[in-house]
Amino acid sequence: TFDPFHYYSYDDQMKYLDFVASRRVSFVTQGIIGYSSERRPIKFLRIGFPSRQFKPALVIEAGIHAREWIAPAAALYAIHELTTDGVYENLLKTIDIYVIPNTNPDGYEYSRQHDRLWRKTRSGPRGPQRCFGTDGNRNFPYFYAFDGTSRDPCSDIFHGDGPLSEPEMAGLSRFLLAHKKTIRGFISVHSYGGNILYPWGHKKRTYPDDVRDLIWAGNRMAAAVERVHGTKYKVENSADGLYPAAGATDDYAKSIGVKYTYTMELRPTESENLAKRGFELPPQEIKPAVEEAFEGMVELAIIIRNER
């Protein structure tokens, strides 16, 4: 049986998706956005009751950075709650939630088996030093390679051979374009820091026209997170608050017209981190971390539903 407060292998994550899809046939649909370099299928679930009326959609994408294990765990917890707790039934009659729990399966398994702090995909080798991997969150077409990225294939922020050079990212892009008419929200789940980051991310002091709406909704998400265990997430522009980094999923989603687009950096928060080891969030903390993150996601779903 599935324990949502455990770090699972990629195979076991996908087994859980298969299990949910087979058990809740009427309102859960499974799909594949594409295949990784090592040919692993990248699966997603669409959760929502069929409706004759227009339904907006929220997309939750996690795991693009291999070492951020709490991100796929949070996505699986969201699937678990949405498909087992009846309180979400009404919400799911008026909105569809797509969850892609792990967009970098090769990197994730490499982080589990060889190098805990691996970040990138596993394509390659490239260059004279025969280095592997591209930073998937630098591989998207909006202001590609503009700042905060590297052309060195050995760098942790290598942007790839060109926009969407990675099959995982090409798959995610195709998926977003195919559904862009319905997608109103997009959350890229990462760790760590305790932030809700809004666009644009490629350049400091550069914001979309509707940035006030994004800050407003981001503050509501942060308030929802805080109500669970008192954790204070910071709502900030990603370039101003962290650093400029071009070619990320959040900017790409915004650039194709998704209104409410965020990156969530889960626990540990920056202030806790001295004691808490960054990406290696201890298993005892999975539960509070995913519980609070989930409330932030639900809050955005409610906002989108109310604007329909």
Contact of residue 263 among ligand 0X9, Zn ion, none (CB under 5-8 Å per partner type): ligand 0X9
Closest approach, Cβ 209 to ligand 0X9, in A, equals 17
Q: Exactly one of 81, 168, 265, 292 is catalytic; name it.
A: 265
Is the dihedral angle over the CA atoms 95, 253, 235, 214 positive or is it negative? negative
Instruction: Kindly give the pairing relationship between strand 57-62 and strand 183-193.
Output: parallel
Torsion of CA 12, 18, 22, 23, to 10 degrees: 40
**Least Cβ distance, residue 75 to Zn ion (angstroms):** 13
Closest CB to ligand 0X9 among residues 45, 289:
289
Query: Is 265 labeled as catalytic in the residue annotation?
Result: yes
The pair of structure tokens assigned to 59 is 């997309």
For Zn ion, the closer of residues 135 and 292 by Cβ is 135
Q: Residue 245 binds which one of Zn ion, ligand 0X9, none, with CB within 5 to 8 A depending on kind?
A: ligand 0X9
Nearer to Zn ion, 65 or 122 (CB): 65
In the complex, the smallest distance separating the C-beta of residue 142 from ligand 0X9, rounded to whole angstroms, is 9
> Which residue type is seen at 108?
Y
For binding to Zn ion (CB under 5 A), which residues are involved? 65, 68, 190
Residues that bind ligand 0X9 in the complex, under the rule CB under 6 A: 65, 68, 137, 190, 197, 201, 238, 242, 245, 248, 250-251, 263, 265
* Beta strands 260-269 and 183-193, pairing class: parallel
The answer to whether the CB of 171 falls within 8 A of the CB of 121 is: no
Closer Cβ to ligand 0X9, 21 or 74, answer by number: 74
CA-to-CA distance for 24 and 112, rounded, in angstroms? Answer: 30
Shortest-Cβ-distance residue relative to ligand 0X9: 201
Task: Decide which of ligand 0X9, Zn ion, none touches 96; Cβ closer than 5 to 8 Å per partner kind.
Answer: none
172 binds, among Zn ion, ligand 0X9, none (CB under 5 to 8 A by kind): none
CA distance 279 to 116: 9
Return d(Cα 270, Cα 182) in angstroms, integer: 35
Do you know the residue count of the chain?
308
239: three-class secondary structure by DSSP? helix
196, β-bridge pairs: 235, 264
The nearest distance, CB 276 to Zn ion, in angstroms, is 16
Residue 284 C-beta: closest distance to ligand 0X9, Å: 22
- Residues 6 or more apart whose CB falls under 8 angstroms from that of 44 comprise 30, 31, 32, 33, 98, 99, 100, 101, 175
Residue 66 partner contact from ligand 0X9, Zn ion, none using kind-dependent CB cut-offs of 5 to 8 Å? none
* Nearest residue (CB) to ligand 0X9, 55 versus 67: 67
Phi, then psi, of 40 in degrees rounded to 5: -80, 140
Write out the catalytic residue numbers: 265
